[in-house]
Amino acid sequence: MRCTVPETIPPAERTRVVRESHRGAYDRETIYKILDEGFVCHVGFSIDGQPYVIPTLFARVGDAIYFHGSAASRMLRNVSDGIPVCVTVTLTDGFVLARSVFNHSMNYRSVVALGKAILVDGLEEKLKALHAFTEKILPGRWSDARQPNEKELKATSVLRLPLTEVSAKMRMGPPEDDAPDYALPIWAGVIPLSHTPGAPIRDEKCDPAIPTPAYATHYKR
């Protein structure tokens, strides 16, 4: 299912970036690029006044994000009943070392999405979401591995959150020091951060005659 989202999503009162407002972004291209690069989202919800924040894998399909887990989990049992959620995704791009401790920072890109998650009942949409989870992590793996069976599908809940109330916030660039501090004899700059995949490690129970697939050997982000 696809919801209609304009190229620029008008910021709602709840998603408008207030602190450092110049770092906010509301265009779909920026928001979706961050979501597509992230692997883990944090789903926040409240039950009987107790807040919970649960990390889980997710994927974007069209104008919605999907997340999943065990059908017996507390999060998915309650979220599927229509409890409002807050989903966040953060990418860390670098440590920003200023001349003063107070002005140290981090280069990052983040997204906050609010709304009600919808339990996916249709088999076709559920499989589409599971395909998206798998292919996002490792393109080509879905067709190479065994498909989910009926028992596994029943044990897994998938929820869809339409991206209708969402915003991004980012920080990029060098340190920003107080004017007098630029004269201090202290090194300042940025230490870039990135995910670097290592060489595939074969499962001990994997037949040595089975070649390592190219999508694993040459994996890169």
Supply the pLDDT for residue 5: 45
Which positions ≥6 away from 197 have C-beta within 8 Å?
Answer: 219, 220, 221
Q: Considering the domain boundaries, does residue 14 fall inside one? A: no
Residue 142 sits in a domain of what CATH number? 2.30.110.10
Which positions ≥6 away from 193 have C-beta within 8 Å?
Answer: 92, 93, 94, 95
Q: Considering the domain boundaries, does residue 6 fall inside one? A: no
Supply the pLDDT for residue 6: 55
* Burial readout 39-51 (b: 16 or more C-beta within 10 A, e: otherwise): eebebbbeeeeee
Cα gap 47→60, rounded to integer Å: 26
Domain residue limits at 166:
21-217
Q: Considering the domain boundaries, does residue 4 fall inside one? A: no
Supply the pLDDT for residue 155: 87
Beta strand spans in 62-194 (E) = 64-70, 84-97, 105-116, 118-119, 156-162, 165-171, 189-192
**How many domains, in total, are found in the chain?**
1
Residues of the chain with confidence (pLDDT) below 50: 1-5
